[in-house]
Structure 1
Amino acid sequence: MRMNLGMFLGIAAILIALSKYEKSPPVVPVEKTRYFGTTVTPMDYEKSDTFVRPVYLNGGWVGAAGTGGSSVGGALSLPAPWHPGLTVRVKWRRCERFYKHNPIPDSEACHWTEKHVLVHPYDESGGTNVHILENDDVLIIPTMLDPRHPDYPGPLYPEKDFRLKKGISK
């Protein structure tokens, strides 16, 4: 069978088109982010005799900020693994102490603070410490370590004595 010029050019065009055809890359399933729950210990480092109550992380209540150690109030869900830029929205209310003989209304004695805070890098976590420092600075440290451990990346437990400064204990 003889091919005429038109058939030859038609077949050549089809072969050239097929040779440039690229297969689409294989579909890679999208991996869903895994999350884990961690207990939260909010701690108050302000040197004054004010108190922080309540504390919220990402809209969820996690308790009152104390001196740490035994005060676990709530939980926080964190992604596994940690990634740069991970933040948590922290909201808390700091109040002046209550004076029985000269009460101050909450609207004057208390103020709210809310901010997005970067989460300290973690590989694993047995609990999350929220350090509310002076000047409304905040550290969020998910960790397996106690603040007294030499490798702990944040401050030691606060030294604030809530009962003595508030006149509860003598």
Structure 2
Amino acid sequence: MFWHDGLNTTSDQLLSLTESDVSTSGANVVALIETIHPSLKKSEAIEKRALATAFGENDLRYHLKYASGNFVPTTLDFSTNILYNYSYMINTPSKLVHNLKLDFTLDDVFMSGSKLDQLHGKFVVLTYVIWDILHTVVGLGLAFIMLFIGGIFGLLFHPIHSIFNFFPTMWQIVATSWHGLSNLFNLFK
């Protein structure tokens, strides 16, 4: 069960939310977890895989710790740690291109203003571009390192789950690979 400030949300409700939202928008799942801070330690394996995929495919920030305070390497098992880190790495190019496209559209907001507004707009765009690139470089480095270290922590903390989650996770690795490639090519349409 997930607990937050005395409010109880059953794992069935979160599971139905993650199953429906991940298929339409994993960003909704990321926003939900970042907003209500549920503890993820007692969640089901399918929920953890859905969350790992949602965070890996949708958030440019790399998470060593969820907003709830749960550390990712110790909360997820071996297979799900591998899924999160692989999903993060394979989906980073499309997430970065999407964010950069969004950053450069901010410049249009300031173009109709004075010269000072236009200069301010260019500074804002440059700041966001640098910020996104820094997130990407740090996130890819951490994901590569945690692909191995996170897997080891997951295996130590959840040995049984690591074994039983192996085959379902392999399927999700294929799916997230497809999403990473298709999302990247769809951004250039």
**TM-score, length of structure 1 as denominator length:** 0.22
Instruction: Report the structure, 1 or 2, having the larger helix content.
Output: 2
Greater C-alpha Rg: 1
Which structure has more relative contact order (CA 8 Å, sep 6+)? It is 2
TM-score (norm 2): 0.20
